[in-house]
């Protein structure tokens, strides 16, 4: 592992990695630094009504200069949003689309050559061409094909899918397990895998929102197994009243830590580690306090929470309230340095 070249924050995480039970190792780390701090990169998943869609019209790729700006701030994790239909068109068992994958790999390599983590996430909500993925074995095939190009890149993180919802909870667990099995079968055995739950993988509803078969994520997600023992439970948390991240109004200055409470206990009880893979607040006083409060909560529960990724950056967000795209994104000036305190 590239230990000589790693920045301090990553050296710490790699030290933790080397221990068979990273959780205990990290608990002794006296620091407010988070293992993963970074941002979602949007663009390659845009225009999902047009498949495969056209580069430059329907979708785009992250701005590498912007990635440099974040790396200079100490960010070490980039969640790259993609689409399954563009990675592997027509059928889950088909071959990779080499033009789309070449561009994805260019972004991934750019990030990992700078010793940051590149998390690859199909922004598919558990659907392929709009239909719920109901064949775990086909999804396993998808992931064993998709993971193969990255099998030797330790700094890639595979995120099985963005925000499963309105599915049977047991199916969500089965497709996550299938993804894990497919990724490991591709020879990608050293990387972290982020799993996501049903109900948009919400932290605050982890234990009390049921899928179509009456099961919660707490009921179904604890039994996933990984021969490499490198699973991260990725949850999302917004601060508006319905938790969707669509309003500029945050409920209170402490809503973030309150909403993470039950998930924190679940992770601890089940000996899992978690990542807040999406969170954000608009630029106003209450949201700014809520963002700081949540990050501080995550850092002080670093035995189970490994980090937090802001939603979102990307070249096409324009004046979207949460955009931290350098340097004109409305949230850039307020929030990038707040995150950087944990880098
Ligand atoms: C990428 O970001 C740089 C610096 O902010 C900017 O000059 C450039 O125009 C951007 N490129 C694209 C394609 O948006
Ligand atoms: C890949 O990116 C290049 C620009 O760097 C673009 O010309 C090409 O159309 C892109 N292809 C795909 C499939 O995204
Ligand atoms: C789930 O429980 C959390 C924590 O008690 C609560 O904030 C939230 O409103 C509940 N959500 C639903 C949908 O019941
Ligand atoms: C919370 C949020 O902003 N979600 C957005 C995620 O990105 C997709 C497209 O990339 C949007 O459709 C969602 O609204």
Q: Are 312 and 62 in contact (CB under 8 A)?
A: no
Q: Which of 45, 174, 196, 278 is catalytic?
A: 278
Q: Are 272 and 304 in contact (CB under 8 A)?
A: yes
The tokens for 26 are 């990290």
Q: Whose CA is nearest to atom 6 of ligand 1?
A: 65
Pocket of ligand 1 (CB under 6 A): 63, 65-66, 315, 326
- Please indicate whether residue 285 is annotated as part of the active site: no
Work out the pLDDT band at 31, boundaries 50, 70, 90: low
Q: Which of 45, 163, 196, 325 is catalytic?
A: 163
Task: Name the helix (H) or strand (E) containing 256.
Answer: helix 255-269
CA 240–ligand 3 middle distance (angstroms): 13
First-last CA distance in the chain: 20
**What pLDDT, on the 0 to 100 scale, is given for residue 32?**
81
pLDDT at residue 184 tops 70: yes
Above pLDDT 90, what percent of the chain? 88
CA 1–ligand 4 middle distance (angstroms): 34
> What's the chain's average pLDDT?
91
Q: Whose CA is nearest to atom 7 of ligand 4?
A: 42
**What pLDDT, on the 0 to 100 scale, is given for residue 16?**
29
Work out the pLDDT band at 14, boundaries 50, 70, 90: very low
Pocket of ligand 3 (CB under 6 A): 204-205, 208-209, 262
pLDDT tens string 268-290: 999 999 999 999 999 999 999 99
Ligand 3 atom closest to 205 (CA): 1
Longest pairwise C-alpha distance within the chain: 50
E-assigned strands of the chain?
36-41, 77-82, 117-122, 127-128, 131-132, 156-159, 193-196, 231-236, 274-279, 305-313
pLDDT tens string 35-46: 999 888 889 999
User: From the CA of 328, which ligand is nearest?
Assistant: 1
Ligand 4 atom closest to 238 (CA): 1
Report residue 109 CA to chain centroid gap. Answer: 18
pTM (two decimals): 0.89
Task: Name the helix (H) or strand (E) containing 290.
Answer: helix 285-300
Ligand 1 atom closest to 326 (CA): 5
In sequence order, the 6+-apart residues with CB closer than 8 A to the CB of 302 are: 26, 27, 29, 34, 35
Give the number of other Cβ atoms within 10 Å of residue 67's Cβ.
24
CA 311–ligand 1 middle distance (angstroms): 19
Average pLDDT for residues 18-26, to the nearest whole number?
A: 32
- Region of 126 (left: φ > 0; alpha: ψ -120 to 50; beta: rest) is left
CA 103–ligand 2 middle distance (angstroms): 6
CA 271–ligand 4 middle distance (angstroms): 31
The tokens for 140 are 């396993």
Short-list 100, 93, 97, CA closest to 140: 93
Short-list 301, 203, 274, CA closest to 243: 203
Q: Are 120 and 158 in contact (CB under 8 A)?
A: yes
Q: How far apart are CA 229 and CA 273, in angstroms?
A: 11
CA 116–ligand 2 middle distance (angstroms): 23
pLDDT tens string 48-82: 999 999 999 999 999 999 999 999 999 999 999 99
- Please indicate whether residue 163 is annotated as part of the active site: yes
Q: Whose CA is nearest to atom 7 of ligand 1?
A: 65
pLDDT at residue 2 tops 50: no
Phi, psi of 120 (to 5 degrees): -95, 120
Phi, psi of 179 (to 5 degrees): -65, -45
pLDDT tens string 215-232: 999 999 999 999 999 999
The H helix count followed by the E strand count for the chain is: 11, 10
Q: How far apart are CA 198 and CA 173, in angstroms?
A: 9
Ligand 2 site-directed mutation target among 55, 56, 60, 86, most atoms within 8 Å of CB: 55
Q: Are 19 and 25 in contact (CB under 8 A)?
A: yes
Q: Whose CA is nearest to atom 2 of ligand 4?
A: 245
Cβ of 245 below 6 Å from ligand 4:
yes
**What pLDDT, on the 0 to 100 scale, is given for residue 39?**
87
């Amino acid at each position: 592992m590239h230990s000589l070249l790693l920045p301090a924050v990553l050296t710490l995480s790699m030290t933790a990695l080397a221990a068979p039970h990273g959780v205990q190792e990290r608990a002794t780390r006296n620091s407010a630094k988070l293992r993963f701090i970074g941002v979602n990169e949007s663009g390659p998943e845009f225009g999902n009504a047009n498949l495969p869609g056209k580069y430059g019209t329907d979708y785009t790729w992250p701005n590498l200069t912007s990635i440099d700006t974040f790396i200079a701030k100490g960010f070490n994790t980039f969640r790259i949003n993609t689409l399954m239909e563009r990675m592997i068109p027509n059928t889950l068992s088909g071959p990779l689309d080499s033009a789309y994958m070449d561009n994805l790999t260019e972004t991934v390599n750019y990030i990992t050559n700078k010793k940051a983590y590149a998390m690859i996430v199909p922004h598919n909500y558990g659907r392929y061409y709009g239909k719920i993925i109901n064949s775990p074995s086909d999804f396993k095939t998808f992931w064993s094909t998709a993971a193969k190009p990255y099998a030797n890149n330790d700094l890639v993180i595979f995120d099985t899918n963005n925000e499963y919802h309105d599915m049977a909870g047991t199916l969500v667990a089965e497709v996550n397990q299938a993804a894990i099995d497919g990724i490991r079968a591709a020879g990608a055995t050293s990387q972290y895998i982020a799993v996501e739950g049903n109900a948009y993988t919400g932290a605050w509803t982890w234990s009390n929102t049921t899928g179509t078969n009456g099961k919660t994520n707490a009921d179904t997600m604890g039994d996933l197994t990984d021969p490499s023992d490198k699973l991260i439970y990725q949850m999302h948390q917004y601060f508006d009243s319905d938790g969707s991240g669509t309003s500029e109004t945050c409920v209170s200055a402490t809503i973030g830590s309150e909403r993470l409470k039950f998930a924190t206990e679940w992770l601890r009880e089940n000996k899992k580690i978690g990542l807040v893979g999406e969170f954000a607040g608009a630029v106003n006083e209450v949201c700014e306090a809520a963002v700081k409060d949540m990050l501080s909560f995550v850092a002080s529960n670093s035995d189970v929470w490994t980090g937090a990724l802001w939603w979102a950056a990307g070249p096409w967000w324009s004046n979207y309230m949460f955009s931290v795209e350098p340097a004109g994104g409305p949230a850039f000036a307020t929030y990038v340095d707040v995150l950087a305190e944990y880098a």
